[in-house]
Amino acid sequence: MVHGKRWNLLNTLFLTGTLALALVLVPWRLATSGLRWSEALVFLAMIFAVGTAISGGYHRLFSHRAYKASWPVRFLFLCFGAAAFENSVLKWASDHRVHHQHVDTDKDPYTIGKGFWYAHWTWVMEAKELPLAGVADLEKDPLVRWQHRHHFLIGAVVATIPLWIGLATGNVLGHLVFGVALRIVMTHHTTFFINSAAHMFGSRPYTDTNTARDNWLLAPLTYGEGYHNFHHLWQWDYRNGALWYQWDTTKWLLNVLAWMGLVGQFRRVPAAVMTRARLHMEEKRLRERLALASPGSAHPMRDRLEAARLKLDAALAALHDRHEAWQAKQAEWRAKGLAKGRATAEAWREAKAERKAALALHRAELRSAWAEWKAARLEVRSALVYA
């Protein structure tokens, strides 16, 4: 006997009900009263605060331990994160860690393999309760345990901040429509887009071993979470938009909080490691396109391309190792200075001079390797254009 799919009635009613309310009330309010500056300001403040609590708190801090945060920051992230109405941080992190561990398989709670809408929100509405898994570290945190017990009440208190502002300004209905109803719907679906759209649309510059994509259009909507291909390869990095020009408001806020001494111990993937991953993917795609060319011309170009990439990869690794060795030496000298009270200026100058000479050599090798890679890449692209 085949049973129909069972639904979680509470989740289904909440998700579809808030969406229906917003679709009806927002156009009606705009048509009858327009949009007041206070309504827009409160809506933007609330959606940014709650969305950043999900991105910087639920996701990067608690799920991935990408940095350390003081208790006031953790407390605020837990309170505003609860107002997203996406469950407690303990449950959210549990599902998310399972997603990373089993991405694109049937064990993935919101696998894209079951379709866009399943990954987007149908999985939330299904009547299946996934047990807590892999969150023993979070269960040791008393703030996390407190939020897990009371997350719905905490969320309700924070989510109704616009109501109190409306009471104070004499505009209750407008703030309820925009600051509560529309804000809840927008928070839900911008979060859900990372599970759905970011696994279907965009580029894969770092890895193609999973469906996660970098999508710059999603980044402003999700507080920097749009660079999902990067994130799935280096989930422990506190950034999502790792390059300076990539939109990542959560990263920028965390940098400000670090300057204030409220967060720290950021985990970052080295730039050389990122570049090497991008080179590997670029070479792989060029080799796939070369497979369509005639063997007589494809084999020499493929060999040259591989040799150039390996040389560049080695040069990048050597420069990275040199930086790592210098940081270790600095730490050693600091320890010696603290332990013995002396570190001669002459010896320090010699060490710096040695490093400078070694860096100059490594950089020359890197320039040469880049030149060879660019020449090989240009040869392949030109051959493919005129093939």
Please answer whether residues 139 and 157 qualify as being in contact, where contact means their C-beta atoms are separated by less than 8 angstroms. Answer: no
Angstrom distances, CA of residue 251 to CA of 4, 48, 180, 240, 368:
44, 14, 26, 8, 34
Q: Are 108 and 48 in contact (CB under 8 A)?
A: no
* CA proximity to 207, closest of 268, 284, 272, 271: 284
Query: What is the distance between the alpha carbons of residues 21 and 82, in angstroms, rounded to a whole number?
Result: 21
Output the CA angle 239-242-247, nearest 5 degrees. Answer: 85
Distance CA 300, CA 306 (A): 10
3-state secondary structure at position 126: strand
Which pLDDT belongs to residue 362?
79
- Give the per-residue pLDDT at 26: 97
Hey, how many other C-beta atoms are within 10 angstroms of the C-beta on 163? 14
Which bin fits 87, alpha (ψ -120 to 50), beta or left (φ > 0)?
A: left
pLDDT of the residue at 344: 62
CB atoms < 10 A from the CB of 132, how many? Answer: 16
Question: What was the pLDDT predicted at 375?
Answer: 84
Instruction: Provide the pLDDT for residue 342.
Output: 52
User: What pLDDT was estimated at residue 385?
Assistant: 58
**Cβ–Cβ contacts within 10 Å for residue 182, how many?**
22
Per-residue burial over 239-258, b if 16 or more Cβ lie within 10 Å, else e, is bbbbeeebbbbbbebbeebb
Q: Among 104, 333, 327, 318, which Cα is nearest to 199's?
A: 104
pLDDT tens, the chain, 387 aa long: 345 568 899 999 999 999 999 999 999 999 999 999 999 999 999 999 999 999 999 999 999 999 999 999 999 999 999 999 999 999 999 999 999 999 999 999 999 999 999 999 999 999 788 899 999 999 999 999 999 999 999 999 999 999 999 999 999 999 999 999 999 999 999 999 999 999 999 999 999 999 999 999 999 999 999 999 999 999 999 999 999 999 999 999 999 999 999 999 999 999 989 999 998 998 888 888 777 766 666 777 788 888 888 888 888 888 788 777 777 777 777 766 654 445 566 777 777 777 788 778 878 888 888 888 888 888 777 776 555
How many Å apart are CA 119 and CA 126, to the nearest integer? 12
- Helix residue spans in the chain (DSSP H): 9-33, 37-52, 71-82, 89-101, 116-117, 123-125, 136-139, 142-159, 161-169, 172-175, 183-195, 228-233, 249-259, 271-290, 295-340, 345-386
pTM for the whole structure: 0.88
pLDDT of residue 339: 46
Alpha-carbon distance of 86 to 81, in angstroms, equals 8
Q: What is the pLDDT of residue 306?
A: 83
What are the structural domain ranges in the chain?
Answer: 9-264, 271-386
Q: How many residues does the chain have?
A: 387
